[in-house]
Chains A and B, each alone.
Chain A
Amino acid sequence: MQFILETGILTVIYIKQRPQRRLRTMKLITAVIKPFKLDDVREALADIGVQGITVTEVKGFGRQKGHTELYRGAEYVVDFLPKIKLEIAVAQDMVDSIVEAVTKSAATGKIGDGKIFISSLDEVIRIRTGETGEEAV
């Protein structure tokens, strides 16, 4: 009786003391960049092993602001500048290398280079196979 108890307690202690598997969360990286930098960024991402991205054409401004144009003698302000938005779903351990790759390849040094946003991703599902989580990224 005492032997069974001790074995049970030792088993529980052993399980609790095993190193925890690190919780692998997923992140959504959103990057807004200048449109003509898209090819450079894509190549840089491919080089570090990113397999999928989603690209949207967007308009926006930060501190760059817009510019004025002229039509038949009348001025008008173009507030929103065209940009490209990339969305990349990745495992957390890829985030740093991706941020570095995007920053290096999208920068021109001039105002309007863009921003990167990182948010947590609750779940990812591959439609064709139903895979979830890590395998779906």
Chain B
Amino acid sequence: MNDIIEIKYALDTFYFLMSGVLVMWMAAGFSMLEAGLVRSKNTTEILTKNVALYSIACCMYMVMGYSIMYGGTADLIFPDAWFGNSIGNATTAEVLASGGDTYYSGASDFFFQVVFVATAMSIVSGAVAERMKLWAFLTFAVVMTGFIYPMQGVWSWGGGFLGETVGYSDYAGSGIVHLCGATAALSGVLFLGPRKGKYSADGKVNALPGANMPLAAIGMFILWMGWFGFNGGSELAVSSVESSNNVASVFVNTNAAAAGGLLAALILAQFLYGKADLTMAVNGALAGLVAITADPLSASGGMATFIGAVGGAIVVLSVKFFDSIKIDDPVGAISVHGVVGLWGLLAVTINSDVTVMAQLTGAAVIFAWTFVTSSIVWYILKLAMGIRVSEEQEYEGVDASECGIDAYPEFVSSKS
């Protein structure tokens, strides 16, 4: 019996760790996707943003974020502990004494959770691309990963009121990760303003095409692959028939939703604009993944495809909508993660007993908290150091002004 407890512990810990590795790999996916969708003169800077924000997330979550989010919350609102971290492993004796209730390493839990906050933060980097000061962004990342994200996280996954009292349900984080990240992005974009030349005075929307379609495509595939860890790992166990069956269903549904989202977006873009837009297809796949993230377990494969497809269709319309109200989002992050994140939360009610009210309440709380706190931080940063590069720096490219490194130095570049 003891052997079985130990083996299950080992298997579930191993599963946590490998799922965490897959989610960590999503950081590479975001980096490549964003690098492909910005102009060449801004590529180094967005890569620097991505590698740095991942590292900041790891450090801040270790310093305080994990403690806030998973250190317990006695009153369901305020975290019991603010700083330090409770990363600890139970001993063999303790595990056996628990009869298998302690079924995974505490350190593996931290590892699995820290890569989620990095994902939420990287959503912001795409929306503010090509015109934000690097260090202003990284300063925001410190606050977002150390405080803003963990607070709304403790209310839901950490045992707080959203999960316990309201009945909000979010399996892998359509709201907690994606809507949260997109809200912080929206707030930033409102303070930042659109890129120069994006919207003409006569109301025309101008295209500022991305420099590297291959990177965008591989970025999408990396994210797709990493999402198997994002959703699959959120089952939190694999060492029983029930949990492994669940994990398998989650993998199938995750894959199906991405496929449905991509095709829906591709077909809709062809229908609306007369061309098969690769960037829309890529956004569609990610939208499908975001849409199923709130509940990749309950749906059938066909339903998951449908939920993803709706997400893909939404994103095509949402990108156009944001451009029409002059909110400039170079990679479509706010559409993919925010608008579709909300759809994902509501889609949970289709296949389960969760109520629409609970989901809307959760979404509203996450949105309000993140928007208000983010706006305060953006505003302070704007006053203290400025968040936008100068017009000349924007024209030359932020690679030159922020990083001093050309991404494609041997290619003849047209600075436009």
Binding site for B on A (CB under 8 A): 69-76
Contact = CB atoms under 8 A, between A and B. Distances in A.
A70 B274 contact: yes
B206 A73 contact: no
Nearest to A68: B207
Question: Of residues B207, B269, B274, B277, which shows the largest number of chain A Cβ atoms within 10 Å of its Cβ?
Answer: B207
Interface in B140-178: none
A76 B210 CA distance: 13
18 contacts: A69-B207, A70-B274, A70-B275, A70-B277, A71-B207, A71-B277, A71-B279, A72-B207, A72-B277, A72-B280, A72-B323, A73-B269, A73-B272, A74-B323, A75-B207, A76-B206, A76-B207, A76-B209
Interface string B246-276: 0000000000000000000000010011110
B274 A73 contact: no
B99 to A, nearest CB: 56
B320 interface: yes
Interface string B206-242: 1111000000000000000000000000000000000
B205 interface: yes
B323 A73 contact: yes
A71 B209 CA distance: 7
Contacts of B277: 70-72
Contacts of B323: 72-74
Contacts, number: 33
B319 interface: yes
Nearest to B275: A70
Contacts of A75: 207
Contacts of B272: 73
Interface string B306-333: 0000000000000110010000000010
A75 to B, nearest CB: 7
B275 A73 contact: no
A71 to B, nearest CB: 4
Closest 8 CB pairs of A and B: A71-B207, A76-B207, A74-B205, A74-B207, A73-B320, A71-B209, A70-B273, A70-B275
B319 A73 contact: yes
Nearest to B209: A71
A34 to B, nearest CB: 21
A95 B194 CA distance: 55
Contact of A73 (B205, B208, B209): B205
Contacts of A73: 205, 269, 272-273, 319-320, 323
A73 B323 CA distance: 9
A73 B208 CA distance: 11
Contacts of A72: 207, 277, 279-280, 319, 323, 332
B338 to A, nearest CB: 17
B275 to A, nearest CB: 5
A76 B197 CA distance: 12
A70 B207 CA distance: 8
A70 to B, nearest CB: 5
Given A73-B319, A76-B206, 11 more contacts: A70-B274, A70-B277, A71-B208, A72-B319, A73-B205, A73-B272, A73-B273, A73-B320, A73-B323, A74-B205, A76-B209
Contacts of B209: 71, 76
A73 B269 CA distance: 8
A70 B280 CA distance: 12
Contacts of A70: 207, 273-275, 277
B353 to A, nearest CB: 39
Contacts of B207: 69-72, 74-76
A74 B195 CA distance: 15
B389 to A, nearest CB: 23
A64 B72 CA distance: 70
Nearest to A75: B207
A67 to B, nearest CB: 12
Contacts of A71: 207-209, 277, 279
A80 B208 CA distance: 17
Contacts of B274: 70
Nearest to B329: A72
A11 B335 CA distance: 96
A113 to B, nearest CB: 26
